[in-house]
Amino acid sequence: MTITVLPNVDKNGCLETLENIGKFFRENGIKGYLPQTVCCSNFESLPEEELFQKGDFIVTIGGDGTIIRYAKKAAQAKKPIIGINAGRVGYLANIEQGEYKLLSKLKTGEYTTEKRMMLDITVSDENGNVSIYKALNDAVITSGYISRIVDIYAGIENDSIHYRADGIIISTPTGSTAYSLSAGGPIIDSSAQCICITPICSHSLSAKPIILGSDRVIKVNAFSKKRADIYLTVDGRKVAQVRPKTKITIAKSDEYVELIRLNDKNFYSTLSMKFSEFSK
């Protein structure tokens, strides 16, 4: 059995955990792979393009951002992924750094998987250039300036919703506990198949989050009367400037992320635990 480990070495305790995992893999006859940018004994280093092909399983060490970064590549390679939490929130991670020995369950088959839907975001600019991005959490359209209102039209089939706001968040159920939650959006069961639109600081008291079926296709146009710059951000990464003639289409992706579960922690127990931590 082979396991690719993708660490965020800037996280506290990550390198120590990586060393422990390397020794544990050697003792249990597990072949481990690491990116060439990380040096650690008991692992073989590979170029990133080979890591997702050679590993039977993908393991990340870091926060939710680390999982999100690599989960989309794991989905493309059709490999299941598990996160070891070295961050603060850890909604997506299944085990903590001190629980790394649970990885032996991957060898014995004592694990379950949970499918998480993603979004395809297609951006067409005024010159006809097309770019496609994938989101596990969300796509955010917002002004590049503080307190600059943006006019956003979200077309759904033959209807259109107009928002005058700082921006909008279009999220998956996985992303419902991220930026959308901070903006007043609902918490959505992670196994649900739906898309949520959450306005950011709307200029209308009647503008509320909307949950759509996952079969809906959302077409977005945005402009600013004050000519403020508008940007599209996908999973926390700014990917495109949105101009008046830019067309953005958002739909459910055919690909999905397969998260590994090694214990009885589920969406609701994790949610309860995280909320109790934040209330301290």
How confident is the model at residue 227, as a pLDDT? 73
Tokens of 27: 């003792």
For 112, the 3-state DSSP assignment is: strand
Among all residues, which ones are annotated catalytic?
Answer: 64
Domain extents in the chain:
2-111+262-278, 118-254
Strand partners, 258: 115
Place 228 in a pLDDT band, splitting at 50, 70 and 90.
Answer: confident
pLDDT of the residue at 146: 74
User: What is the DSSP track for 152-211?
Assistant: EEEEETTEEEEEEESEEEEE-TGGGGTHHHHTTPPP--TT--EEEEEEES-SSTT---EE
For domain 118-254, the CATH class is mainly beta
Judged against a pLDDT cut of 90, whether residue 274 lies above it is answered with no
User: Comparing C-alpha atoms, which of 170, 221, 169 is closest to residue 200?
Assistant: 169
Q: In the predicted model, is pLDDT for residue 105 greater than 60?
A: yes
**Amino acid 145: pLDDT:** 77
Question: Predicted confidence band at 206 (pLDDT cuts at 50, 70, 90)?
Answer: confident
Identify the pLDDT of residue 222: 95
- What is the C-alpha separation between 53 and 273, in angstroms, rounded? 35
Q: What is the DSSP letter of 128?
A: -
> Cα separation of 6 and 25, whole Å?
15
Q: For the domain bounded by 2-111+262-278, which CATH number is listed? A: 3.40.50.10330
What mean pLDDT is predicted for residues 152-178?
95
pTM: 0.92
Q: Which residues pair with 212 in a beta bridge?
A: 195
Q: What is the pLDDT of residue 128?
A: 92
pLDDT band at 270; cut points 50, 70, 90: confident
To the nearest whole number, what is the mean pLDDT of the chain? 93
Q: What average pLDDT score do residues 18-31 get?
A: 97
- Given a cut of 80, whether residue 267 has pLDDT beyond it is no
